[in-house]
Amino acid sequence: MDDILCDAEGYVTEISFQSYFGSVYSSIPADISLLTRLSKVDLRTLNFGGAALPASLGAVPSLEYLHLSNCGLFGALPSDLNACTNLKHLDLSGNGFSSLSPTISSLAKLEYLDLSSNVLDGPIPSELMALTNLAHIDMHNNSFNGSLPDTIVNLQALTDLDLSDNFLSGTIPAGLGSIPKLRHLWLGTGPVCPKEYTSCVVPQSTGSQLCMWCSYFCTTCDKKDRNTSNDYSTNNNANSNANANASSSSSGLSTGAIIGIVVGVVLLLVGVIAVVFIVIQCGKKSKDVEVPVYADGNQYPDAQGAYAASGGYKPDATAAV
């Protein structure tokens, strides 16, 4: 929805525009820095044709929400943006950003960060581990490599972490299970494992279930449940996990099996009904005996030959008893 909102004094506070009919725009106007009370900018899908993110956005310290996904933006994320110290929501997904500024750690109020589907590479930026208010991090479909930093345990407000479709390796930090609110962890597919494997672990401090996608930690990655403190290149707890899987598989039927049983019962009932119908029809036909009816109105089923020989009454019709 396209909209510009102002406060009671006439100052612009929100700008929301989306692209129509494939239009291409030159860049985000530098004059945006004049909007001193601007708190929200949503320009998702506007096509800026390969332009860079303007440094003038950093001159809007009141900015709290910035959504620029799929805008055709390229280059480095400008360090000036880190002057937006009130920023809580930052979505730059689906662009061509190639690097982050180390000063991103100054965005201390940031709660939501989406940098997915860019061309970011190298190790996971350690500066992000200083953003302790982050609840949502999505950086899937980039080219990050190396292992998860142990300092990720600093992000105690984290609920969702998606690092799938990168080139990560190594072990999952032992303290990851101590993050109390973490519920969804996607570590997706990497160059070694072509398939995703689901694993569920129990965070050490909460006892609630954390669902994971774990496949790129993968020399022996499988579908068995594992604890986050385990190295995914080892096979600890394999026997206990196998027993758990066996008990879970024996406790229920798959959807396919249930459908097969239902179809079998229906076919059996149809067969029984068909047999009953045939038996009834055969019984009915066995009663349909043709008996001669003679001209005197009487029936003589055993005397037809005698009448015929003596020139008596001849049958003129048949009737079914």
Tens digits of per-residue pLDDT, 23-59? 677 778 888 889 999 999 999 988 888 888 888 888 8
Looking at residue 23, its pLDDT comes to 65
Looking at residue 132, its pLDDT comes to 96
CA distance 141 to 190: 10
At residue 151, the 3 state secondary structure works out as: helix
Are 38 and 12 spatial neighbours (Cβ–Cβ below 8 Å)?
yes
CA distance 218 to 229: 15
33 phi/psi in degrees, rounded to 5: -70, -15
Give the DSSP letter of residue 307.
H
Which comes out higher in pLDDT, residue 130 or 82?
130
Per-residue pLDDT band for 274 (boundaries 50, 70, 90) equals: confident
Q: How far, in Å, are 48, 196, 252, 255, 258 from residue 248 at the CA level?
A: 52, 20, 7, 15, 17
For residue 311, pLDDT over 80 is answered with no
Mean pLDDT of all residues in the chain?
74
Residue type, 313: Y
pLDDT tens digits along 97-150: 999 988 899 999 999 999 999 999 999 999 999 999 999 999 999 999 988 889
Which comes out higher in pLDDT, residue 107 or 241?
107
Looking at residue 7, its pLDDT comes to 92
Which H or E run includes 270? helix 255-286
For residue 319, pLDDT over 80 is answered with no
The contacts of residue 203 (CB under 8 Å, 6+ apart) are 177, 178, 179, 180, 182, 210, 228
Per-residue pLDDT band for 284 (boundaries 50, 70, 90) equals: low
Which comes out higher in pLDDT, residue 53 or 289?
53
Per-residue pLDDT band for 288 (boundaries 50, 70, 90) equals: low
At residue 145, the 3 state secondary structure works out as: strand
For residue 151, pLDDT over 60 is answered with yes
Per-residue pLDDT band for 204 (boundaries 50, 70, 90) equals: very low
